[in-house]
Chains A and B, each alone.
Chain A
Amino acid sequence: MEITVRTTDLLKELLLIQGVVERKTTIPILSQLLVEAGGDGQIHLAATDLELAISTNCPAKIKKSGSGAVPARKLLDYVRLLPDADLSIKLLENHYVQLRCGRASTRMVGMSRENFPELAAFPSTPPARIPGAVLARMIRKTIFAIASEEARYTLNGAQMVLKPESIALVATDGHRLAHVADDHTAIEGVPAEIRCLVPRKAMVELQKLIDELPEGGTVEFGQDETNLFFSLPLAGGGRRVLAARQLTGQFPNYEAVLPKDNARVCVLPSEPLTQALRRVAQFADERSHAVKLRLEKDHLTLTSSSSEAGEADEELDTPYQGEPMVIGFNSQYLLDFLAVAGSEEVRLELKDEQSAGQFRPQGGDGDQYRYIVMPMRI
């Protein structure tokens, strides 16, 4: 293989791919990047950590086609130090890779292409087409609620529900649940309902890929029995494809826990609530982050106390007219929601001190966004 590529073009793709390169591994081939040069004026790059795989293209002048595995991190570290110029990459004997850029030259120790894991191909069935902006927004609104506990693997991802007329994403860690649905966006290529579990790591990488998508771009989605595939078009032709191994197991029946009769409603301004929560949380217990919300006629009082730090309280005005009540929540959970709610005001809907509270943006971007948090006994 012998090719010439622009360093800036290559660097852009290398940066996107690094998220799935397994740097800390005892399986050496997983720290390598697969480079393939065909006859289409593009080089094909791919990396995998056995859970995720990303493949992408980069325009190149191809003198001789071929393929090889190159240490991904070393290649990135080297290329990012090069100026914007042509870089020639040549595969030598014994899997050595020679790089030349201007007067700089290096030889890297690569590995045999044969050892590189086989990458799953995008299924041949017609893909679903999801607007990139919608998907990115929904990921942002749910990703923080995904469990990081190792013991509950089915919660280590978000459930995506695709219907011809809507898309929804749900994530929970057992203490809180974020549910977002867009009923206004038609999803092309979805003949019937599709439900799948998208692993958290895949959502992180997908978000990075969508950020590079031109405005109005769509993400093509497909799945086979093992993988979920997200394919995004590249400006210069070709596609970036993220393949994520599906998690086994059933996502819990979350619909059963969605509150139905939380009649005590108060509407609060997002920004003042965020600021007040941040201040009060300073004095919350370091492990539980618990804050108390006292609802009374026309105002809400936030309080916290810890034996070591001291105590704090802060009052906010709200047009609340219901019965007084006190309820405890993890302040960090509330701040996570407020950071992505995307509205000037939020609705807090409660039933009693022992039942889950529901938070929703008041107005906002049109998404049906619900955030359910279990209360804390304080």
Chain B
Amino acid sequence: MSWSDILLPPAVREQLAGLAAGAERNRTLLLSGPPGVGKTTSALALGLALNCRQPPAPGDFCGACLSCREFAGWDAVQAQLEQALSYRQEQVRTRAKEAAPLQVRLHPQILYFPPDGDFLSMAQAREIARLAYLRPDPGRHWMLIVPGFDQARWMVQNALLKLLEEPPPDATLALLAVQPAELLPTVRSRCLAIPLPPQPEPVMAEWLATRRPEVRADDRHMLLRLAQGAPGRALSLDLADWRARRQTLFQLLQATLMTSHYDRLFPLTENLRLSKEEIEITAEILYSVLQDLLYLKSGRSSAIQNSDSRERLSGWAREISWEQLELAVEQLDRLLRGLRRNLHRTLAWDAWALRVRMAAAGA
């Protein structure tokens, strides 16, 4: 395994390999891009390259030396995170988040600090700084990866400012963000920004054919569209689950747009009384459907993501007005913002359906 085996935009790959090879390293990186585009993979690969004992080329990693063999694996993050959380739940009962800041050790020098709950906690920020100022093992380099840093509270971002300003020579901090604009300007100005753009569809198609050969060609095509250039998303997306969730949403959309009976509406929103994470997935599916309706209304039918439901969506696209479509998206944005403030989940969907329904009735 080396940089060439990782699907990344060539410019990004070269930049990261150059960072690993360079004597002068910029040690605070801000890797940004949509979910699944390769931020975590890039940071892990950079961590391996910085620690590789026998790099095949400057800035590369071999995947076979002692250091590379100590790596837990590209797919180990989720399993280790679950293990860490369950271990903490069993062992650390009192003020667990403060006492045992969540961290996952993927390599002796590569540590991963996922949001503890919704955000990175202050205890995690302190732990990151504490580790960064300790010397790594001889000849090695700390790689501290902080995903979802754009979600971190400003107070927590501020707590890391000094470290971002002057990181110790033996530590690299990789901040990962979907929306880098959400970060404090003082954080952004201290980091080397590395945006990761989505992969072009032909590149993704070729890559996905080798990584998920078991998927049928038409499903693979749909996967490509839904992944929107994000390799991680194309790998992890479960189409059967997507379709099952979408079916519930199709029923709700049908009732909202086409039915005047409110009594049919509310039992459907009952089905969406889900956990916060599941609502985010559901909202993502709904966004994709609404986007498809937009494409179909504007005559770009080849661009739709839910290609297996083209007929049904085409029918709705003829019925729905531009204003309704705009309102549906606006109300979905509002629903997601409300959920972050602990809005009542079922009532939030009721309100969404009612507003869109009323607009449809008004039209």
Contact = CB atoms under 8 A, between A and B. Distances in A.
Given A24-B92, A150-B130, A245 B101 contact: no
A24 B95 CA distance: 10
A153 B126 CA distance: 11
B137 A226 contact: yes
Nearest to B113: A26
A273 B77 CA distance: 59
A226 B105 contact: no
A322 interface: no
A247 B85 contact: no
B200 interface: no
B170 interface: yes
A255 interface: no
Interface string B92-113: 1000100111111100100000
Given A120-B137, A247-B135, A248-B169, A23 B129 contact: no
Contact of A249 (B137, B159, B168): B168
Contacts of A225: 135, 138-139
Interface in A1-60: 23-28, 31, 50-51
Interface string B123-142: 00010011101111111000
A151 interface: yes
A27 B103 contact: yes
Contact of B91 (A23, A50, A151, A246): A23
Nearest to B91: A31
A211 to B, nearest CB: 26
Secondary structure of the B side of the interface? mixed
Range, interface on chain A: 20 to 34
B84 A24 contact: no
Secondary structure of the A side of the interface? loop
Nearest to A22: B100
Counting chain B CB atoms within 10 Å of each CB, the highest count among A25, A227, A247 belongs to A25
A316 to B, nearest CB: 42
Contacts of A118: 108, 137
A193 interface: no
Counting chain B CB atoms within 10 Å of each CB, the highest count among A23, A27, A118, A151 belongs to A27
A117 interface: yes
Given A26-B102, A226-B136, A248 B87 contact: no
Given A224-B138, A248-B135, A249-B133, A26 B103 contact: yes
Contact of B138 (A31, A51, A226, A247): A226
Nearest to A246: B135
B162 interface: yes
B251 interface: no
Interface in B9-45: none
B177 to A, nearest CB: 23
A24 B91 CA distance: 7
A230 B345 CA distance: 58
A249 B171 CA distance: 12
Given A225-B138, A226-B136, A248-B135, A153 B169 contact: no
Contacts of B168: 248-249
Given A31-B91, A247-B133, A248-B170, A26 B138 contact: no
B100 A51 contact: no
A226 B135 contact: yes
Interface string B227-259: 000000000000000000000000000000000
Given A245-B134, A247-B134, A26 B85 contact: yes
B188 interface: no
Interface in B66-98: 83-85, 87-88, 91-92, 96
B133 A26 contact: no
Contact of B129 (A31, A153, A245, A249): A153
Contact of B100 (A25, A156, A227): A25
A51 B134 contact: yes
Contacts of B103: 26-27
A117 B105 CA distance: 11
Contacts of A23: 91-92
A25 B127 CA distance: 11
Given A225-B135, A245-B135, A246-B135, A27 B170 contact: no
A246 B84 contact: no
B98 to A, nearest CB: 9
Given A24-B99, A26-B85, A28-B87, A153 B138 contact: no
Nearest to B139: A225
B4 to A, nearest CB: 29
A141 to B, nearest CB: 25
Contact of B134 (A25, A27, A31, A246): A246
Contacts of B139: 225
A245 B170 CA distance: 13
Contacts of A249: 133, 168
Interface string B181-212: 00000000000000000000000000000000
Interface of B: 83-85, 87-88, 91-92, 96, 99-105, 108, 126, 129-131, 133-139, 159, 162, 168-171
Closest 10 CB pairs of A and B: A26-B84, A153-B133, A24-B100, A248-B168, A24-B99, A245-B134, A226-B135, A246-B135, A28-B87, A24-B92
11 contacts: A24-B99, A26-B88, A120-B138, A151-B129, A151-B162, A153-B130, A225-B139, A226-B135, A247-B134, A248-B171, A249-B133
Given A51-B134, A150-B130, A247-B133, 19 more contacts: A24-B96, A26-B85, A26-B87, A28-B84, A117-B108, A118-B108, A120-B137, A150-B159, A153-B130, A154-B133, A225-B135, A225-B138, A225-B139, A227-B135, A245-B135, A246-B134, A247-B135, A248-B171, A249-B133
